[in-house]
């Protein structure tokens, strides 16, 4: 199951030159600096830009080849851009019915379910101009779902939402990919969100794919590891001792960590959960320390170090079992601790930085 994209699109400052095969399942995130060609690439995939010579193949469907071109509506793509293009003269309900009535059968994403999940019930009778930017984005997202897409293409769809709502919708993306087997291509500047739920990462720079691969490993490879300084590890939920209702114990590489229990999460023992850990939230010592507020201390091995954005800092790559973690420390600390490849260290993870980032894995 794949999405093959080959194109050469001259843009103002460079040519968007892409030749890549992406998974046609799960969540594929496209990241890259502003102006690197992310939106243009989505437009080529959707067929909004009819580009001579491009090849777009989704699963067993040829959307574009030298002698073939399927327009957007035949591709059954749910397209959500940062600017929600709602019909201003229709109510929210009428906007939603527009997608719903044109949808193919069978409808796997139900009307009531999507409206409830997107929190739209109170605003069904209102017009777009009566809604905030974030509410309009939620309507546009729901309308795309109700059209029963076979592929969801998202370009910063939650940029106007507040942090709590964005967090909810990011985890909703994961549910949609998991429960409804709905593949997604998602452009976001929120690297933490992307690391948290994406299965596959593509990095664009000046119109070229400079890195792509499964998220967990792509984050540990150049150029993403230097640019993002962020790791994703998978831990397993552990049974909680009686009376400890506000904390959650996890096992990571056969070691125990504890974090504040997210209120929304009921995790069964052994459920694998993803933790997104910024390198800046990891510090290192040579020994376990007892007089620290940081209780999550994990024995690890130094496998590499490389420059960080600031010349006085470096990023240390650590191995915990078969998983990898990045730590951002100063070069002075690297010297003072006498670190080198193979050194045994203790990685300290701030629990408060972890508890907002807990997700069940796909
Ligand atoms: N129709 C067009 N013709 C020529 N150049 C274009 C056209 N549309 C966009 N560009 C240029 O192509 C480059 C990539 O734009 P694009 O919107 O794809 O980038 P992006 O990575 O999505 O940026 P952002 O993250 O800011 O949304 C920009 O330099 C832009 O000016």
Which CATH number covers residue 321?
2.40.50.100
Let me know whether 180 and 243 are in one domain.
no
Q: Is the CB–ligand 1 distance for residue 149 below 6 Å?
A: no
Let me know whether 107 and 194 are in one domain.
yes
Residue-level pLDDT at 167? 86
Q: Which residue's alpha carbon is nearest to atom 2 within ligand 1?
A: 11
Let me know whether 165 and 301 are in one domain.
no
Let me know whether 161 and 262 are in one domain.
no
Q: Is the CB–ligand 1 distance for residue 38 below 6 Å?
A: yes
d(CA 215, CA 231): 9
Q: Which residue's alpha carbon is nearest to atom 23 within ligand 1?
A: 35
Higher-scoring residue by pLDDT: 321, 192: 321
Task: Give yes or no for a contact between 197 and 359, defined as CB atoms under 8 angstroms apart.
Answer: yes
Domain that holds residue 307: 230-361
Let me know whether 239 and 282 are in one domain.
yes
- DSSP structure string for 256-322: EEEEEPPTT----TT-EEEEEEEGGGEEEESS--SS-S--EEEEEEEEEEEE-SSTTEEEEEEEETT
Let me know whether 207 and 320 are in one domain.
no
**Residue 361 clears pLDDT 70, i.e. is over it:** no
Q: Is the CB–ligand 1 distance for residue 39 below 6 Å?
A: yes
Tens digit of each residue's pLDDT (9 = 90 or more) over 49-77: 878 889 999 999 999 998 889 988 889 99
Q: Which residue's alpha carbon is nearest to atom 7 within ligand 1?
A: 11
pTM (predicted TM-score)? 0.88
How many distinct structural domains can be found in the chain? Answer: 2
Residues 6 or more apart whose Cβ sits within 8 Å of residue 75? 46, 47, 58, 61, 63, 150, 151
Ligand 1 centroid to 38 CA: how many Å? 8
**Residue 287 clears pLDDT 60, i.e. is over it:** yes
Residue-level pLDDT at 282? 95
Ligand 1 centroid to 64 CA: how many Å? 22
Q: Is the CB–ligand 1 distance for residue 37 below 6 Å?
A: yes
Let me know whether 72 and 197 are in one domain.
yes
Q: Which residue's alpha carbon is nearest to atom 17 within ligand 1?
A: 39
Domain stop point among 181, 212, 243:
212
d(CA 358, CA 355): 6
Domain stop point among 184, 212, 240:
212
Ligand 1 centroid to 41 CA: how many Å? 9
Q: What is the pLDDT averaged over residues 220-239?
A: 88
Let me know whether 183 and 62 are in one domain.
yes
Q: Is the CB–ligand 1 distance for residue 40 below 6 Å?
A: yes
Residue-level pLDDT at 204? 95
Let me know whether 176 and 40 are in one domain.
yes
Residue-level pLDDT at 362? 40
Q: Which residue's alpha carbon is nearest to atom 18 within ligand 1?
A: 37
Domain stop point among 183, 212, 241:
212
**Residue 360 clears pLDDT 70, i.e. is over it:** no
- Residue 189 alpha carbon, nearest atom of ligand 1: 25
């Amino acid at each position: 199951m794949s999405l093959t994209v080959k194109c050469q699109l001259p843009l103002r400052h460079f040519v968007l030159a892409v030749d890549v095969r992406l998974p046609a399942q799960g969540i594929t995130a496209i990241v890259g600096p502003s102006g690197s060609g992310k939106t243009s690439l989505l437009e080529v995939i959707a067929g909004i830009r009819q580009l001579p010579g491009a090849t777009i193949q989704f699963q067993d469907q040829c959307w574009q080849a030298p002698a073939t071109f399927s327009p957007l509506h035949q591709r059954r793509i749910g397209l959500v851009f940062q600017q929600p293009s709602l019909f201003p003269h229709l109510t929210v309900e009428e906007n939603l019915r527009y997608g719903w009535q044109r949808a193919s059968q069978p409808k796997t994403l139900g009307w009531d379910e999507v409206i409830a999940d997107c929190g739209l019930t109170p605003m069904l009778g209102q017009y777009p101009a009566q809604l905030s930017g974030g509410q309009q984005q939620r309507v546009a997202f729901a309308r795309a779902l109700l059209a029963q897409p076979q592929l969801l293409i998202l370009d910063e769809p939650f940029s106007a939402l507040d942090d709590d709502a964005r967090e909810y919708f990011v985890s909703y993306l994961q549910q949609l990919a998991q429960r409804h087997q709905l593949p997604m291509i998602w452009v976001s500047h929120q690297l933490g969100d992307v690391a948290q739920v994406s299965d596959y990462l593509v990095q664009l720079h000046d119109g070229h794919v400079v890195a792509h691969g499964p998220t967990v490993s792509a984050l540990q490879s150049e150029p993403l590891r230097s640019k993002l300084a962020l790791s994703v590890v998978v831990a397993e939920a552990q049974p909680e001792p009686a009376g400890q209702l506000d904390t959650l114990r996890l096992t990571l590489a056969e070691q125990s960590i504890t974090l504040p229990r997210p209120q929304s999460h009921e995790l069964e023992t052994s459920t694998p959960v993803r933790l997104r850990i910024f390198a800046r939230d990891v510090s290192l010592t040579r020994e376990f320390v007892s007089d620290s507020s940081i209780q999550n201390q994990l024995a690890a091995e130094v496998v590499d170090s490389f420059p960080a954005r600031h010349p006085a800092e470096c990023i240390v790559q650590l191995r915990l079992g078969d998983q990898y973690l990045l730590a951002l420390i100063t070069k002075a600390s690297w010297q003072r601790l006498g670190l080198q490849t193979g050194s045994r260290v203790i990685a300290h993870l701030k629990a408060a930085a972890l508890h907002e980032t807990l997700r069940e894995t796909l």
